[in-house]
Amino acid sequence: MSALPKEGMIPKRLARLRDLASNLWWTWQPDAQRLFQRLDPVLWEEVRHNPVALLRRIERIRLNAAAQSPVYLELYDRILAEFDRAVAGETWFERSFPEHAGTTIAYFSTEFGIHEAFPAYAGGLGVLAGDSLKEASDLGLPMVGIGLLYQHGYFTQRITEDGWQEALYEDLDLENLPLARVTGPDGQPLQVEVSIAGRLVRAQIWRLQIGRIPLYLLDTALPENLPTDRELSARLYDGDPERRIAQEMILGIGGVRALRALGIRPGVWHLNEGHSAFSILERLREHIAEGLPFEEAAAWVRETTVFTTHTPVPAGHDRFSLTLIEKAFAGYWEQLKLSFEEFCELARQDEPWGPTFNMTALALRFSNHRNAVSELHGRVTRRMWAHLWPDRAVEEVPIRHITNGVHIGTWLARRMRALYQRYLGPDWMERVDDPALWERVLEIPDEELWAVRRHLKRKLVAFMRERARRRWQRNHVPPIQIVASGVLLDPYALTIGFARRFALYKRAYLLFRDPDRLRRLVNDPHRPVQIILAGKAHPADEPAKRMIQEIYRLIKDPSFGGRIVFIEDYDMEVARYLVQGVDVWLNTPRRPLEASGTSGQKAALNGVLNLSVLDGWWREGYNGANGWAIGEDRDYEDPEAQDVADAASLYELLENAVVPLYYDVETDGIPHRWLRMVKESIRSLAPFFNTRRMMKEYLHEMYLPAMEAARRRTAIPREPVL
């Protein structure tokens, strides 16, 4: 277990702070966070909102004072009672589907974004996985997560004076994380083995508790492994193909074996993207070892596998050369009673340079429950993979869509939550997927909504100024970099946010195509505009890093007046401040390459208006009155023509719609027409683009059919797996 203070170090009256710190349920409970913050507000910021680190470092005198405070104890007792209900009370799933209460859903993902204190995520895929586990806990779904424990997490981003991104890697401080090393009946750490290229690689198992949901993480940093194998779980998305395939063998094959070692036999296997598709091979191997012929084993695997694909970008689908597959699997195919050629056909995808073993193709071929993550992405995905079903028309390819959503408890600002509590009713968090509930948003007085929105923007500006001050103090960076970090921002000017992973198809450069026009826009003395950018480029993505550099050099131009800034090291903490504090959320992907996106959903929930290309989720969410659509609802053959048209549309909307509406303030100092659009945005978007609706869709359309199939299959007598 992580090194929380031993019993006796914490006053007996507050002893259960240890329980609370050991379960990441607190990450989506503002009052639980305040319980730790009130112990020592300064230390809480220093440890980056990590209660394990806080309890290890806090002075005993502060704990004693809290144990004597009636106000603190009242909050403590209330939060612990809520915690106990959340992790042990009767659940919605148990009430609704008692016949499936004993069926486990295994959720595999290469990354999980739970909180910034545990940096095991790179971007949207991981944050979606984290949000999914949190919602599964809220609903009581019988789920377990499977992933890897990255000793270096994802990289820390630093921007040099000339705008170049540097990637810094730091060891994960396991002592300050609520991780439990899983042990076996003999009290020794539980381990699994995977044969990779003819050598055995061992992995130990850690548990991270997310409310009701255990997340099991595999770690190869063991002394009995070769030095190179200890590094397999060191970094997220290793660029070397040999290490990448080994990572994915640990995740997929090792993940299945870890569940078996834990005594867990899932009825449903959900693969969040193709990185974990090797789990399919291991499950086939198990069934064949039990005596099933290959086709029957394959049918069993298909009936109980759910696969979600997240990207229409070809580079986002892992594929390996057949030479590398032959080396890495070294005879594994014989356990499937296949030849090497037959083994390769399970996932064969021909590329211009030759045949490959494609992880997405493997997952699609061996799952009966497949989905893309938005309506448009579904259409693109069916077209992209239609060759796997040559006897079907493209529109009949069996890949449906379940549009992504966001976990409201994680991303909603505390002040907005309090506002909703007043006007939506005390049980509103239990009904967030009910459209009728959100009609009440229209009853919120404009002055109250405006006061909250202004408060959140002041918090954002204060946060950025404090980050800039600390950077100045710590690194002594040149003054121009401090300006570029946001110290000159105005907490009352129209503020636009653009934050996401930097890749060329995200088109962060679109806003800068006409610098003179942009300069006039931001420097209007009567209606100023300020723009906040944030995001990381993959360390191996040189074009994306050059794009950041070019944008950063423009940002440093004094003629922009410090109104365009870049926040380095974008993470979940920065994301929360941005989606809660800006006025407008800008998204400019090259359609149709944005599978879904969720940052704009988080922003909308907090009263931020979307200004976006009609791609991903926004194509479904936009209704003409709840934000703005950049460009047309169409695809382009010519990328340059698309850039020209979309940039022209973006500037036109900013100049003639967005800016005038924001500054259309009436005599009471409130922009009522702006707030009318804000309310329409919340009313129309919040009930659908949330994980409660999303996870219920997965349950009804994917999990329950797989559970029924598993129940039918388990009725057949079987020999135990050796």
Q: Which domains does the chain have, with CATH numbers?
A: 12-88 (no CATH), 92-404+696-714 (3.40.50.2000), 412-462+490-554+567-689 (3.40.50.2000)
Name the pLDDT band for 718 (thresholds 50, 70, 90): low
Listed in sequence order, the DSSP H helices in 582-638 are 599-605, 616-621
Average pLDDT over residues 237-256: 94
DSSP state for residue 431 in the 8-state scheme: G
Average pLDDT over residues 230-250: 91
What pLDDT does 354 receive? 87
DSSP state for residue 155 in the 8-state scheme: P
Answer yes or no: is pLDDT of 448 > 50: yes
Cα atoms in the 13 Å half-sphere on the side-chain side of 645: 17
What pLDDT does 715 receive? 60
Answer yes or no: is pLDDT of 716 > 80: no
Helices (H) and strands (E) in the chain, counts: 33, 21
Answer yes or no: is pLDDT of 521 > 50: yes
Name the pLDDT band for 218 (thresholds 50, 70, 90): very high
Average pLDDT over residues 112-141: 93
Name the pLDDT band for 123 (thresholds 50, 70, 90): confident
Answer yes or no: is pLDDT of 152 > 90: no
Q: What are the tokens at 94?
A: 């148990």
pLDDT averaged over every residue in the chain: 94
Q: What are the tokens at 381?
A: 């995905």
Average pLDDT over residues 401-430: 96
List C-alpha distances in Å: 482 to 326, 473, 478, 563, 577: 52, 11, 7, 12, 19
| Rounded Cα distance, 304 and 442, in Å | 43
Q: Are 132 and 113 in contact (CB under 8 A)?
A: no
What pLDDT does 477 receive? 78
Average pLDDT over residues 123-146: 96
What pLDDT does 174 receive? 86
Average pLDDT over residues 478-501: 90
Cα atoms in the 13 Å half-sphere on the side-chain side of 287: 20
- At 558-593, the pLDDT tens digits run 999 899 999 999 999 999 999 999 999 999 999 999
Query: Could you write out the DSSP letters of every residue in 511-559?
Result: GGSSHHHHHHHHT-SSS-EEEEEE--B-TT-HHHHHHHHHHHHHHT-GG
- At 327-366, the pLDDT tens digits run 999 999 999 999 999 999 999 998 888 899 999 999 999 9
Give the three-class secondary structure for 148.
Answer: strand
Average pLDDT over residues 248-262: 98
Cα-based torsion angle of the residue sequence 249, 255, 257, 262 in order, rounded to the nearest 10 degrees:
160
| Rounded Cα distance, 408 and 424, in Å | 14
Name the pLDDT band for 24 (thresholds 50, 70, 90): very high
φ/ψ (deg, to 5) at 216: -100, 130
What is the three-state SS of 560-580? HCCCEEEECCCCHHHHHHHHH
Q: What are the tokens at 343?
A: 């083994």
| Rounded Cα distance, 256 and 287, in Å | 13
Helix H or strand E segment including 23: none
| Rounded Cα distance, 544 and 541, in Å | 5
Name the pLDDT band for 721 (thresholds 50, 70, 90): very low
Answer yes or no: is pLDDT of 674 > 60: yes
